[in-house]
Chain A
Amino acid sequence: MDILPPSEELMARIARGDEDAFEILVNRHQTSILNLVYRFIGDRTQAKDLAQEVFMRVWQSAKSYEPKAKFTTWIYRITANLCFNELKSARRKKWFSFNWSDEDGEHTFEETLSDNAPSAEDLLLEKERSRQISDALQSLPDNQRMALVLKRYDDLSYQEIAQVIGCSVSAVESLLVRAKRTLQEKLKNYEK
Chain B
Amino acid sequence: MKCHNIQKRLSAYQDGELDPREQEQVRGHLLSCRACREQFAELERVWQTLEGLEQVHPDPWFYRQVVRKIKEPRERGLLPTLQQVFRLSRVPVAVSIILIIGLLAGTYLGSILARCDLFPFFQSNAVSDSLGVLTSMRVFDPAPPGTLAEGYYRMVSY
Contact = CB atoms under 8 A, between A and B. Distances in A.
Contacts of B87: 93, 96
Interface string A42-68: 001001100111011001100000000
B156 interface: no
B63 to A, nearest CB: 5
Interface of A: 19, 22-23, 26-27, 30-31, 34-35, 38-39, 44, 47-48, 51-53, 55-56, 59-60, 93, 96, 126-127, 129-130, 133-134, 137, 151-153, 157-158, 173, 176-177, 180, 183-184, 187, 190-191
B11 A184 contact: no
Given A31-B57, A177-B8, A56 B52 contact: no
Nearest to B59: A48
A44 B56 contact: yes
Contacts of A56: 66, 69-70
Contacts of A52: 62, 65-66, 69
B63 A176 contact: no
Interface of B: 8, 11-12, 15, 17, 42-43, 45-47, 49-50, 52-59, 62-63, 65-67, 69-70, 87, 90-91
Given A126-B52, A130-B54, A191-B49, A26 B11 contact: no
B141 to A, nearest CB: 56
B58 A180 contact: no
B49 A30 contact: no
B47 A30 contact: no
A98 B4 CA distance: 46
B56 A47 contact: yes
Judged by DSSP, the binding face of A is helix
Nearest to B8: A177
B63 A23 contact: yes
A129 B52 contact: yes
B54 A19 contact: no
Contacts of A47: 56
The 8 closest A-B pairs by CB, nearest first: A130-B54, A129-B52, A133-B53, A30-B58, A177-B11, A55-B66, A38-B56, A26-B63
Contacts of B43: 180, 184
A191 B45 contact: yes
Contacts of B91: 96
B52 A130 contact: yes
Nearest to B39: A184
A121 to B, nearest CB: 16
Contact of B11 (A23, A176, A191): A176
Contacts of A59: 66, 70
Contacts of B45: 191
A98 to B, nearest CB: 13
Contacts of A23: 63
B73 to A, nearest CB: 9
Contacts of A26: 62-63, 66
A182 B45 CA distance: 14
Given A52-B66, A56-B66, A180-B11, A152 B47 contact: yes
B11 A173 contact: yes
Contact of A158 (B17, B54, B59, B65): B17
